[in-house]
């Protein structure tokens, strides 16, 4: 577009507004967007320099974009802003036109920026950038006036005012988005802090938090598996070693992560948690590492990441097996060196963080498929703790159910109770969702119960409306508990050894899980449509009978190796029939 020597014509103004509106709606950093606006103006107006200056709350330049702007020169440009001229435009909220800048005291000290090498007269046009009635900054240009042409400044002022209005609305929208985001983050941190204080307050009754298994741990259960896990967690907590919590969904991995923090020397420092599966990669990087001001659209202020917030304390990365391979490389450097850079920054930061990770994914299989980096696997797989599913500790179900009912009573100011037959029903249920599903079942039943004493007829399975029965009807779920391979491979020489082994693990992990898998629903005797589950021995005998007592065939039926079948037969004292 040729430069106009006699002001801005209506046609040029219309095209300019159209081109600038396209730039303002593009998803870029705000500083880059504003610099592109200035570049468009330089192609449409006869001008030497252009400048957009966005002010902070104190009226000082917060963001400055000029013709040919680059991130490297941003600091130098901000120091050379003609502050007196900017202040006058902001104070009067009206355009400012100066025919000869060298003779005006507003530009004293800026001759090197606005001076002309051939001593020609340089003029200045500046307009306020407004959003409603608030002045957010200024838009200005300067041009050489040789005294022969008479520039129609009024047309240029009108055109620049239209552009400034568009810029003002864009800046206002960016600030609103950033403000809402910061407000939500701050609110989340306040709620997490209040919840933590409520759980660990001095006046809190340990029974209300379910801390029956240890002080301030909030873990309910007295089965040997749980006691062994708690004892291991107490030992692990004394060191700074990375812990990997493995187990099915709903087994309480976050609860154990918090318990490890509370039992560690870092308990007075922050406990910060992040669900890696809940955030896309770009957002996850900003959440963990933080970002600098202007790093991306909406980043109007510097923000610390979760690694910085957890400095001196513990960082809990839940669902770590779901992060992308590209982000795994970025995370590996932080774990190895303890240093990183914020998004959009170049200053290296060092942190002291104790890392606790959790996953229900088979990481060994993911490593063998190339979905998870082997070096990151060994970095986080320092101290593995395998949390048992609820079906392997049925003795804890009554205590857990009473604990959940007590919380329900306290929240709703009720006095409901579980009858002995009702507890027996819960004890015989499968609960594929583990502790989380048990809590759901207790709350739902307490909400719909007809009396203050819950009986077996109050449960959904009594009327054929069991949610788990509907969920698993017709198909058995695949186990989510991480299962080490039967024989070590090149990628998995350090297969995880459960520090709290399950009772059935000795017969082979797959068989142990298969023993508890429901056929049609997780039912109980109160659910008459469902036959009772087979024991491990019965399932093994059935497979051997179907295979004609050929161990290799039986292994294929149970998805086991022949070695595991032989071990299970010896364990249960089953003699091999010879034909």
More confident site: 214 or 401: 401
Question: Do 139 and 65 sit in the same domain of this protein?
Answer: yes
Is the pLDDT score of 484 beyond 80? no
What was the pLDDT predicted at 442?
Answer: 92
Residue 349 lies in a domain: yes
What was the pLDDT predicted at 244?
Answer: 93
14-34 confidence digits (pLDDT tens): 887 888 888 887 777 787 888
What was the pLDDT predicted at 71?
Answer: 63
What was the pLDDT predicted at 121?
Answer: 79
What was the pLDDT predicted at 271?
Answer: 93
Is the pLDDT score of 311 beyond 50? yes
Is the pLDDT score of 491 beyond 60? no
Mean pLDDT of 240-251: 90
What was the pLDDT predicted at 538?
Answer: 81
Residue 272 lies in a domain: yes
What was the pLDDT predicted at 313?
Answer: 92
What was the pLDDT predicted at 200?
Answer: 58
Question: Do 43 and 122 sit in the same domain of this protein?
Answer: yes
Question: Do 347 and 281 sit in the same domain of this protein?
Answer: yes
Beta-carbon-side half-sphere exposure of residue 172 (alpha carbons within 13 Å): 14
Mean pLDDT of 355-376: 90
Least confident of 272-281, 357-366, 512-521: 512-521
Q: Which of 163-172, 189-198, 216-225, 415-424 is modeled with the greatest confidence?
A: 415-424
Residue 51 lies in a domain: yes
| Residue 249's pLDDT band (cuts 50, 70, 90) | confident
What does the mean pLDDT of the chain come to? 76
Q: Are 246 and 409 in contact (CB under 8 A)?
A: no
Element (H, E) at 126: strand 121-131
Residue 184 lies in a domain: no
Question: Do 168 and 269 sit in the same domain of this protein?
Answer: no
More confident site: 513 or 388: 388
Least confident of 53-57, 297-301, 511-515: 511-515
Is the pLDDT score of 5 beyond 50? no
Is the pLDDT score of 479 beyond 60? no
What was the pLDDT predicted at 20?
Answer: 81
- Per DSSP, helices labelled H in 151-272 are 153-200, 224-237, 253-262
Question: Do 164 and 256 sit in the same domain of this protein?
Answer: no
Domain count, the chain: 2
Question: Do 21 and 168 sit in the same domain of this protein?
Answer: yes
Is the pLDDT score of 116 beyond 90? no
Q: Which of 18-27, 390-399, 474-483 is modeled with the greatest confidence?
A: 390-399
Q: What is the DSSP string of 285-332?
A: HHHHHEE-TTSSTT--S-EE-HHHHTTTSEEEEETGGGS-HHHHHHHH
CATH number at residue 354: 3.40.50.300
- Coil, strand, or helix at residue 52? strand
Question: Do 17 and 115 sit in the same domain of this protein?
Answer: yes
The Cα 144–Cα 115 span in angstroms is 10
Residues in the chain: 579
Question: Do 304 and 371 sit in the same domain of this protein?
Answer: yes
Structure tokens at 438: 């048990």
Residue 288 lies in a domain: yes
CATH number at residue 61: 3.30.450.40
Question: Do 157 and 291 sit in the same domain of this protein?
Answer: no
Q: Which of 169-183, 240-254, 503-517 is modeled with the greatest confidence?
A: 240-254
Q: Which of 35-39, 116-120, 259-263 is modeled with the greatest confidence?
A: 259-263
More confident site: 190 or 308: 308
Is the pLDDT score of 243 beyond 90? yes
- Per DSSP, helices labelled H in 397-518 are 397-412, 420-427, 434-448, 467-472, 509-516
What was the pLDDT predicted at 175?
Answer: 79
Domain end residue (candidates: 329, 355, 383): 383
Is the pLDDT score of 39 beyond 90? no
What was the pLDDT predicted at 62?
Answer: 78
Global confidence as pTM: 0.49
Structure tokens at 125: 């046009």
More confident site: 129 or 507: 129
What was the pLDDT predicted at 75?
Answer: 59
Domain end residue (candidates: 349, 383, 417): 383
Q: Angle 556-558-562 (CA atoms, 0-180°, nearest 5)?
A: 55
Domain end residue (candidates: 330, 354, 383): 383
Question: Do 144 and 228 sit in the same domain of this protein?
Answer: no
Mean pLDDT of 249-273: 90
Domain that holds residue 286: 222-383
Mean pLDDT of 363-389: 89
Residue 480 lies in a domain: no
Question: Do 231 and 296 sit in the same domain of this protein?
Answer: yes
**Phi and psi at residue 127, to the nearest 5°:** -130, 150
Q: Are 45 and 156 in contact (CB under 8 A)?
A: yes
Pick the closest to residue 135 from 191, 198, 202, 90 (CA basis).
90
Residue 368 lies in a domain: yes
Structure tokens at 349: 């930061």
Residue 423 lies in a domain: no
Question: Do 227 and 100 sit in the same domain of this protein?
Answer: no
């Amino acid at each position: 577009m040729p430069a106009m020597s006699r002001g801005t014509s209506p046609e040029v103004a219309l095209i300019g507004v159209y081109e600038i509106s396209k730039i303002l709606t593009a998803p870029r950093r705000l500083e880059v967007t504003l610099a592109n606006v200035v570049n468009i103006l330089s192609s449409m107006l006869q001008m030497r320099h252009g400048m957009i200056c966005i002010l902070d709350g104190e009226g000082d330049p917060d963001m400055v974009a000029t013709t040919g702007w680059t991130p490297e020169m941003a600091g130098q440009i901000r120091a050379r802003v003609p502050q007196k001229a900017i202040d006058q435009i902001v104070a009067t909220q009206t355009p400012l036109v100066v025919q000869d800048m060298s003779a005006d005291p507003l530009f004293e000290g800026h001759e090197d920026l606005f001076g002309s090498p051939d001593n020609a007269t340089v003029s200045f046009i500046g307009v306020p950038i407004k959003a409603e009635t608030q002045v957010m900054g200024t838009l200005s240009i300067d041009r050489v006036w040789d005294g022969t042409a008479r520039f129609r400044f009024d047309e240029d002022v009108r055109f620049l005012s239209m552009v400034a209005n568009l810029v003002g609305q864009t800046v206002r929208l960016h600030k609103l988005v950033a403000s809402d985001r910061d407000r939500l983050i701050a609110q989340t941190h306040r709620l997490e802090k209040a919840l933590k204080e409520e759980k660990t307050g001095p006046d809190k009754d340990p029974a209300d938090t379910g801390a029956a298994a240890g002080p301030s741990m909030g873990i309910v259960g007295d089965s040997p598996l749980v006691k062994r896990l708690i004892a291991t967690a107490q030992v692990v907590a004394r060191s700074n070693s990375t812990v990997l919590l493995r187990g099915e969904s709903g087994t309480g991995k976050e609860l154990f992560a918090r318990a490890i923090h509370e039992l560690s020397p870092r308990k007075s420092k922050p406990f910060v948690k992040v669900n890696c599966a809940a955030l896309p990669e770009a957002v996850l990087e900003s959440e963990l590492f933080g970002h600098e001001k202007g790093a991306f659209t909406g980043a109007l202020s510097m923000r610390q990441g979760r690694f910085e917030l957890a400095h001196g304390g513990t960082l809990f990365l839940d669902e770590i097996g779901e992060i992308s391979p590209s982000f795994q490389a970025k995370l590996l450097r932080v774990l190895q060196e303890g240093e990183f850079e914020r998004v959009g920054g170049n200053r290296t930061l060092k942190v002291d963080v104790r890392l606790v990770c959790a996953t229900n994914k088979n990481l060994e299989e993911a490593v063998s498929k190339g979905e998870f980096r082997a070096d990151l696997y060994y970095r986080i797989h320092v101290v593995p703790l395998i949390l048992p599913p609820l079906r392997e500790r049925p003795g804890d179900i009554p205590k857990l159910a009473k604990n959940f009912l007590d919380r329900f009573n306290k929240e709703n100011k009720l006095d409901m109770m579980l009858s002995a037959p009702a507890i027996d029903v819960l004890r015989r249920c499968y609960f594929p969702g583990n502790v989380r599903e048990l809590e759901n079942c207790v709350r739902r039943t307490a909400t719909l119960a007809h009396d203050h004493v819950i009986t077996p007829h109050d449960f959904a399975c009594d009327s054929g409306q069991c949610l788990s029965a509907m969920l698993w009807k017709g198909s058995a779920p695949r186990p989510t508990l991480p299962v080490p391979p039967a024989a070590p491979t090149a990628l998995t020489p350090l297969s995880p050894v459960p520090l709290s082994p399950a009772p059935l693990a000795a017969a082979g992990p797959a068989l142990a899980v298969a023993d508890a898998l429901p056929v049609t629903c997780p039912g109980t005797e109160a659910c008459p449509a469902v036959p009772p589950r087979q024991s491990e021995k019965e399932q093994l005998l059935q497979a051997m009978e179907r295979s004609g007592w050929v161990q290799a065939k039986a292994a294929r039926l149970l998805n086991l190796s022949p070695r595991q079948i032989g071990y299970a037969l010896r364990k249960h004292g089953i003699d091999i029939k010879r034909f």
